């Protein structure tokens, strides 16, 4: 059984394990104030071409989202999110648990545009309603689509003009930045958003996300929030070491390219046999629509999620590739698809 | 410079790194539902001699405390803690941030007794005050002392009779269970408390705590709380693998014994030169009182925290040993203490 | 300028002021434990034909909703509400501020049906999502429609079977129970819901809502929640006295009948001149659709809210009548409508 | 049975009831935007000699405290309070329920001084601890003592210099300002604190507190917080009318003077028979220490709270007087005390 269920099925890139072994018996300070975290932050700032951003290490995406959002908002302020937004549906109300409403905007392609922000503003007019204050987007989105540079520029300009913050969930940021359709550099991000995170867990790390605060007024006292929400690791070096390895030789991007390329191979193979997709996604998640009986046959050898019922006889499945996906597995899937499709 | 600052200065026990490498390219399910977490839970239940407890893996102590306590309490219910309690002073108001008051009880030795519980009950009599509902203790306490079996039995009986939950923070549980003065078996714990956690981070793991729920009515829907508070790791296996290694051959206890033994060697050496201690602690944290000028001299070669001013000329320092503390470092510290004391 | 903006434009029914004066210099206990609150609760239980419900007095609707809902739910549990629900849009995120998500269900007539509950259940399947646990409805709804007895029976049966609580916001309960289309008795409510409140503020009281808990397991420690959320009035008698007056001779129902009857007179008049309504509402809120220029003319003499743009030339306005609405004002409005319509 | 239990046993000053009747059938806007609230705010600003403060009306003290404090603080910031502080012990954890820790400072006389603030600052040094940000005091304190002008000036200067807010709970502000020992004018307050409230409920109103924000940066969006916490009354005029009446002819101060004078009469009488007091309080709460058997005898005719056990045979009781306390009742109490003391 080979799994295309997600991009966190395996452990970490071997370089990371090697670095953990080499540094293992060194003594370092706790709580992310060690030399590895310092070096990783320095390296990331170089990649971002911005020495003035603040960087903090987190264990996971939900933890990053809830800590950042609750730190940035006053009690009556709310989040705007696409209806597919991870914070809206797949974090067990983590944001609401910190006291903030999420305003849901229905979109087809997972992406928010200036007009959606204006809709939320128009509907929230006085003190009987929450005040929209932070736009949450994911890049790539939860359905694999990506923002083009112009789209992000427009969105951020609109947010700024409207006195609203823009926050990017980058759980799979590598996949977005390495997509063939992408025209954004990682060093563009600090000028296109107020805060974002660079996802490690889903791109070769054992665990870890690097959270970047670009806007000055959001930086103050941020370590207090991490500690209060339970995210300050005693052995913070664990995450520093990993980001150092991932970005030292730009492995991070190589891994993401591999994931995307594996997804593209799957896509080409699937198209060849005449199948369509729920949405056209140029990253490491694809959503082919297959007849239910074919899905059942494939499930005998592969694991993946059934994403959505399309009609009586067909469903969309989600196939996720990663830095660790094996080329043979992809080939074998296509072969098997052909066999069961005949 | 050798550090006695804490027990999380180094990485992990080599067996753990070895296991991470061996399992690295295996595919597993996410969110702690993988075979390693399953096996670790099974093994821990065997050690606890109780198949009916629920076990969940966490990244750190504050996260465990805040998730458990906020899950267990209704909005008007409060925690009772010793004035030294970690949740009270060193978690940036993490418990209050989930909405619950902590009632502080002043004690000299870090330990709560039935009379303290009764004091809190007596002072909270009606709906204008919070309702004390959960007793938080640490074993060992934050100042290194431990609970004897009879003390824990008495405390738990009193809590139960008073309809109050007992929760044990076991960040350094190994050090308590392996103290020469200890008479509690790990398998005693499920019948002496409603929930507790077995700390990994401070006893040889890279990261991780194993949280055990003993009382049936506290078990329902617990994974929802972990997710909501940001504690559900995508690669949950990371913690499962570690607890499996730590408990497979009881390495966990060997590591704790080493830490305690290093602390005892320090203690014996320090006593020999006529110094006293702030408190008599039989675990891996000791608090010698030294003249300020001697402290300054020691700081040239060793790092440690100055814990408390004792009088104009003397202060108590905290020395922490761990599974990784080197015998030579301990010997060298004593030699240096003698030199600067002469 | 006569106001049809809302049903809380005037003070209180004269009997209430009279009772306040008569009782003014009597000494009573504080915090709602006085003889007037006791008598009012007794009287309400008689009207409800249920001595076993618990009744608590509140100052306002938002306060009642947020206190009840946060008391009833555990942290991961969520509310289901129609997209028109007051808690969803017009309480500044009061429910989310207590930590709970509200799941919005789009409906045309403001009313939730069993199929909507099932939709919410179907979409929330595991611990990565909140758990739907409480259905919030208003009767009448925020757009003036009402639940028929069969509808409420079906909904409550479905909730109960699904282990979900049903809560009714009765801010305008009088208007619902006194509607010509209504077939529910006030004494039916305890068997058709788990908790609800009888709105006083919008039906003749100066201030005050009577909150009724029907389900036993929701009753425990409820006064703690009221105090914690700031709702326990020192001079609780203020609300007790009012409910005593409102229900002593069933004035409550007389006042609501008057409000409904005034709305019906308006409706008949408006229909006569050929106008349509946004929705057919049989209570004290009506939503006629009028040409914008006619609206502008009416605004010279009457105040009311413009509810919704219907097309380029027409908008729906909201007219609200109350216990205090004067018959002459209604007649005069119709006359003026005729004049400006000619 | 005559009650000295509290200062909210009776209804309201007759002028208030008269004004409610006179205004009863007038139509006004809702939610505190009516002409009465406007006029009351204008009048209060005149009394405060400051047109630039913001004033909001609330129903009760706990509601005011929790709304203000949660609006003013970011999530990691904490309150400093005397151990007798109302928010600390008698509001069912209302502040913690909004997410904020209260740091308790043990004091004998209920009053915080600069040294106490410094203590709290010294003990909270980094991100593992909360950040002290708001000092909560009551004037008079919960045990009837008052702040002198110099004390308040010193405290506010110290807070300001330390970047900490000062908030005054004025539930019984009238009693403080009208105490014989007082040297503070109501118009001094805006320059001696960042925010405070003028208590109505305990000084002649049916219900209501007037909350004053002096510091500019605390004013923004404040109505959102009131609504979110359930404190925005539909018929807000109810409170506006009352404050208008209370301050129109300075009745507010006359009522407080009467309350204080009644307490002083009691005090003089009690001293005459040789009894001592728990604390010397120059306002409307006094705490005589009496033999338990005398207390029992007095309880046959008077109700009051037993405040604290003093020794085996004696206890302190609390006697509270108010605007409504009858001179005959005070005389009769003294006579009865003499009778049972003989």
Strand partners, D290: D315
Rounded to whole angstroms, how far apart are CA atoms D96 and D89? 11
Pick from D71, D76, D228: CB nearest A221: D76
**Beta carbons of B228 and C76 less than 8 Å apart:** yes
Evaluate the CA torsion angle C301, C302, C305, C311 in order and state its sign: negative
Minimal CA–CA distance to B199: which of B150, B139, B282? B139
pLDDT at C79 over 90: yes
The distance of B79 to chain C (nearest Cα, Å) reads: 16
Minimal CA–CA distance to D198: which of D246, D258, D143, D133? D246
Q: Which of D74, D231, D236 to mutate to test the interface with A (most CBs of A within 10 A)?
A: D74
pLDDT in tens, B263-294: 999 999 999 999 999 999 999 999 999 999 99
CA distances from B13 to A25, B257, B323, C163, C281 (A): 9, 14, 8, 47, 71
Q: Which chains touch A (3 or more CB pairs under 8 A)?
A: B, C, D
Rounded to whole angstroms, how far apart are CA atoms B134 and B81? 9
Pick from D10, D207, D234: CB nearest C25: D10
pLDDT value for C342: 81
Q: Which positions in chain C touch D228 (Cβ < 8 Å)?
A: 91-94, 97
**Beta carbons of C234 and D3 less than 8 Å apart:** no
Residues C147 and C111: beta-carbon distance below 8 Å: yes
pLDDT value for D342: 81
Q: Which positions in chain C touch D324 (Cβ < 8 Å)?
A: 25
Residues B4 and B304: beta-carbon distance below 8 Å: yes
Whether chain C has a CB inside 8 Å of the CB on D2: the answer is yes
Pick from C76, C130, C225: CB nearest B75: C225
**Beta carbons of D75 and A228 less than 8 Å apart:** yes
Q: Which of A83, A87, A93, A134 to mutate to test the interface with C (most CBs of C within 10 A)?
A: A93
Pick from B62, B229, B238: CB nearest A227: B62
Pick from C10, C201, C230: CB nearest D231: C230
Q: Could you read off the pLDDT tens digit of each residue along chain D, which spans 342 residues? A: 999 999 999 999 999 999 999 999 999 999 999 999 999 999 999 999 999 999 999 999 999 999 999 999 999 999 999 999 999 999 999 999 999 999 999 999 999 999 999 999 999 999 999 999 999 999 999 999 999 999 999 999 999 999 999 999 999 999 999 999 999 999 999 999 999 999 999 999 999 999 999 999 999 999 999 999 999 999 999 999 999 999 999 999 999 999 999 999 999 999 999 999 999 999 999 999 999 999 999 999 999 999 999 999 999 999 999 999 999 999 999 999 999 988
Q: What whole-number percentage of chain A has pLDDT above 70?
A: 100
| B132: three-class secondary structure by DSSP | strand
pLDDT in tens, C36-74: 999 999 999 999 999 999 999 999 999 999 999 999 999
Q: Which of A27, A94, A221, A229 to mutate to test the interface with B (most CBs of B within 10 A)?
A: A27
In D211-270, the residues whose Cβ lies within 8 Å of chain A are: 221, 223-228, 232
The distance of A226 to chain D (nearest Cα, Å) reads: 9
Rounded to whole angstroms, how far apart are CA atoms C53 and C45? 7
Whether chain C has a CB inside 8 Å of the CB on B131: the answer is yes
Rounded to whole angstroms, how far apart are CA atoms D332 and B316? 61
Strand partners, A199: A209
**Beta carbons of B11 and A24 less than 8 Å apart:** yes
Residues C207 and D238: beta-carbon distance below 8 Å: yes
Rounded to whole angstroms, how far apart are CA atoms A307 and A288? 10
Query: What is the count of residue pairs from B and C with beta carbons less than 8 Å apart?
Result: 43
Rounded to whole angstroms, how far apart are CA atoms A7 and A172? 9
The distance of B152 to chain C (nearest Cα, Å) reads: 29
Whether chain D has a CB inside 8 Å of the CB on B328: the answer is no
Whether chain A has a CB inside 8 Å of the CB on C96: the answer is yes
Which residue reads 């990244």 in tokens? B59
Rounded to whole angstroms, how far apart are CA atoms C236 and C242? 11
Q: Which chains touch B (3 or more CB pairs under 8 A)?
A: A, C, D
The distance of B86 to chain A (nearest Cα, Å) reads: 12
pLDDT in tens, C303-328: 999 999 999 999 999 999 999 999 99
Q: Which chains touch C (3 or more CB pairs under 8 A)?
A: A, B, D
**Beta carbons of B127 and C71 less than 8 Å apart:** no
Q: Which positions in chain C touch A76 (Cβ < 8 Å)?
A: 92-93
**Cβ count near A210 (within 10 Å):** 27
Helix residue ranges per DSSP H, chain B = 14-23, 35-48, 61-72, 86-89, 94-97, 114-123, 149-161, 173-177, 222-228, 237-248, 251-272, 292-298, 327-341
Whether chain D has a CB inside 8 Å of the CB on B90: the answer is yes
Q: Which of B81, B97, B120 to mutate to test the interface with D (most CBs of D within 10 A)?
A: B97
pLDDT in tens, C198-207: 999 999 999 9
Q: Which positions in chain C touch A105 (Cβ < 8 Å)?
A: none
Indicate the pLDDT class of residue A342, thresholds 50, 70 and 90.
Answer: confident
**Cβ count near C125 (within 10 Å):** 9
Parallel, antiparallel, or unpaired: how do β-strands A131-138 and A77-82 relate?
Answer: parallel
pLDDT value for D166: 98
Residues (pLDDT < 50) of chain B are: none
Tokens linked to A211: 């959270």
pLDDT value for A39: 98
Pick from A28, A66, A228: CB nearest B92: A228
Which residue reads 């409504």 in tokens? D324
Q: What pTM value is reported for the model?
A: 0.97
Q: Which positions in chain A touch B59 (Cβ < 8 Å)?
A: 59, 230, 233
The distance of C278 to chain A (nearest Cα, Å) reads: 19
Whether chain D has a CB inside 8 Å of the CB on A99: the answer is yes
**Beta carbons of B59 and A59 less than 8 Å apart:** yes
3-state helix, strand, coil in chain D (%, to 5): 45, 20, 40
């Amino acid at each position: 059984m080979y799994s295309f269920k997600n991009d966190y099925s395996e452990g970490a890139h071997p370089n990371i394990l090697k670095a953990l072994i080499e540094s293992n018996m060194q003594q370092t300070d706790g709580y992310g104030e060690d030399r590895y975290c310092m070096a990783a932050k320095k390296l990331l700032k170089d990649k971002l071409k911005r020495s003035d951003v603040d960087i903090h290490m987190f264990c996971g995406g939900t933890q990053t989202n809830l800590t950042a959002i609750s730190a940035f908002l006053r009690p009556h302020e709310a989040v705007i999110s696409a209806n597919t937004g991870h914070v809206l549906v797949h974090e067990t109300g983590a944001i609401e648990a910190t006291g903030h409403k999420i305003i849901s905007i229905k979109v087809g392609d997972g992406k928010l545009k200036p007009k959606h922000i204006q809709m939320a503003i128009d509907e929230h007019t006085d003190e009987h309603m929450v005040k929209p204050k932070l736009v949450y987007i994911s890049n790539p989105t939860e359905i694999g689509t990506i923002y083009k540079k112009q789209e992000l520029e427009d969105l951020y300009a609109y947010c700024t003009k409207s006195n609203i913050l823009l926050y990017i969930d980058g759980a799979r940021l590598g996949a977005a930045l390495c997509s063939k359709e992408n025209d954004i550099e990682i060093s563009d991000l600090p000028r296109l958003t107020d805060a974002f995170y660079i996802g490690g867990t889903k791109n070769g790390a054992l665990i870890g996300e690097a959270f970047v605060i670009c806007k000055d007024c959001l930086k103050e006292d941020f370590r207090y929030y991490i500690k209060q929400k339970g995210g300050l690791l005693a052995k913070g070096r664990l995450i520093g070491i990993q980001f150092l390895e991932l970005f030292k030789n730009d492995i991070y991007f190589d891994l993401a390219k591999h994931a995307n390329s594996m997804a593209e191979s799957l896509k080409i193979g699937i198209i060849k046999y005449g199948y369509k997709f729920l949405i056209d996604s140029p990253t490491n998640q694809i959503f082919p629509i297959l007849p239910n009986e074919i899905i059942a046959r494939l499930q005998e050898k592969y694991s993946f999620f059934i994403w959505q019922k399309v009609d009586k006889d067909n469903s969309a499945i989600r196939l996720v590739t990663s830095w660790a996906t094996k080329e043979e597995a992809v080939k074998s899937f296509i072969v098997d698809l052909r066999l069961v499709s005949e």
